[in-house]
Chains A and B, each alone.
Chain A
Amino acid sequence: MSNKTDSNVYTILFAIGMVVVVGTLLAFTAASLKPNIAENVRLEKQQNILYAMGVNENDESSAVFVDKAQAPELFKQYITKQLVIQGDDISEDDEAYLIDIKKQKAIGKDDPSKRKLPLFVGEKDGKTYYVAPIYGKGLWDAIWGYVSMDENMVVQGAYFDHKGETPGLGANIKERFFMDDFIGEHLLGDNGTFKGIDVAKGNADPKNENKTDNEVDAIAGATITGNGVTAMIKSDLKLYKPYFDNLKNN
């Protein structure tokens, strides 16, 4: 190191210069790529929702979405209505799928009646699907997903995703063997109250043949992520219960 680089003035100038250069570089990349990223995120949400209601290209064991290019078209074709439930109001909104669940959850904490709950009503082969988004926390970071139900709140399909769960353990919530376990599970208990689905350890039913036990088998070594899934299903899907009650009564 020469003496020149040790002086205070040089240090400060260098620091300022670096902040400016790195800052501009990052801001420039972020700003110029923003539209592309937003578009990717938008298409992914459509793919996720379609996946949950069974519109996908799954082969034997891997989860495959519909083609990105076709997603908007298929989304229009299969999703008949996009609803926003806010307190007692129900309105239609064509951009309901873009609602930020994390933000709404924060709003709901202060005033539950202000929280916007998106619900996507889809139709496939003459059957009606209700797809609801869920959001929660895993071991390291956020986890989220979409669950499609029929009018009795029986799960028809589920898609889970995560930001940074441990590969091989918690990250497996987005694998078929885990997501497919949810299909056919009942969200309501025997007496019609909301019970949710537990991701249970030491489950007596590892092949998941009993669909009314409100339990699916947990992933070994991923207890906290599994608990996160249980928690988000319970807290978020519960809010849709009144809607389904109404649906039945009318």
Chain B
Amino acid sequence: MGLLSKKDAKLITDPLADNNPITIQVLGICSALAITAELKASIVMAISVLFVLGVGNVVISLMRNIIPSKIRIIVQLTVVAALVIIVDQVLKAFAYELSKTLSVFVGLIITNCIIMGRFEAFALGNGPWKSFLDGIGNALGYGVILIIVGFFRELLGSGTLLGFKVLGDPIEKTGLYAIGYENNGFMLLSPMALIVVGIIIWVQRSRNKELIED
């Protein structure tokens, strides 16, 4: 991290663990539940949020001195929505295939409270460069949890990873299925995402006792 001062580097590394947006700040839960049945979707969502949060934080930070406080929520939401819609339209025109994969995520990104949460908590009070780092850091922290949840749900739920049948074929009874293993279809249902996140919190807090709530 030669390019970044120690303080700046902390902006990126903090949200990865001790100040994770999902497990500590409780932001962006809805999308973490909706799209994690598959590892691929989790990765796509993580990348999209990385982009939107990075750029959005910079834009809001640049505007922070001219936004009237009374209508700041509208302004913030408008900025995210406009940003996402423009990107969506451009992709539709020039990279149609890609836009089809991403179209599902457009709504989820706009309503993702992690974005609003970081605008409100950080970008409104800090300069563009710091806001950018904060955005990237939080998006990465968010992505890490998404990918962990997606990994377990896809592996245990459908016995695949990124679509590859890593555990053998359930219908032909090869691999693990030959000795009687069955996929747990329950993992595919959204409530299980909540429980997986709960377990991640458990593991994280047992490793770092400072995070334990009373």
Contacts and interface: CB of A to CB of B under 8 A. Distances in A.
Given A167-B35, A168-B154, A15 B104 contact: no
A25 B86 contact: yes
A69 interface: no
Interface in A145-182: 163-169, 171
Chain A at the B interface: SS class: helix
A206 B82 CA distance: 46
A18 B69 contact: no
Interface stretch (A36-44, A78-86, A112-120, A189-197): A36-44
A22 B59 CA distance: 14
Interface string A17-46: 010001001100110010011001000100
B198 interface: no
Contacts of A169: 37, 188
Contacts of A33: 89-90, 92-93
Interface string A111-130: 00000000000000000000
B92 A37 contact: yes
Contacts of A14: 66-68, 71, 75
B198 to A, nearest CB: 20
Nearest to A169: B37
Contacts of B65: 2, 5
B185 A37 contact: no
A83 B185 CA distance: 44
Contacts of B82: 22, 25-26
Nearest to B87: A29
A37 B41 contact: no
Interface residues of B, number: 38
A248 to B, nearest CB: 37
Given A169-B37, A169-B188, A220-B185, A37 B89 contact: yes
Contacts of A44: 96
A165 B107 CA distance: 12
B68 A5 contact: yes
B38 interface: yes
A166 B154 CA distance: 13
Given A25-B82, A167-B104, A18 B34 contact: no
Interface residues of A, number: 31
B37 A167 contact: yes
A49 to B, nearest CB: 17
B70 A11 contact: yes
Contacts of A40: 92-93, 96
A221 B69 contact: no
B5 to A, nearest CB: 28
A15 B85 CA distance: 20
Contacts of B171: 206-207
* Top 7 closest pairs, chain A to chain B, by CB: A168-B38, A168-B37, A167-B41, A221-B188, A36-B93, A33-B93, A11-B68
Interface of A: 1-2, 5-6, 10-11, 14-15, 18, 22, 25-26, 29-30, 33, 36-37, 40, 44, 163-169, 171, 206-207, 220-221
Interface of B: 34-38, 40-41, 65-71, 74-75, 78, 82, 85-86, 89-90, 92-94, 96, 103-104, 107, 153-154, 157-158, 171, 183, 185, 188-189
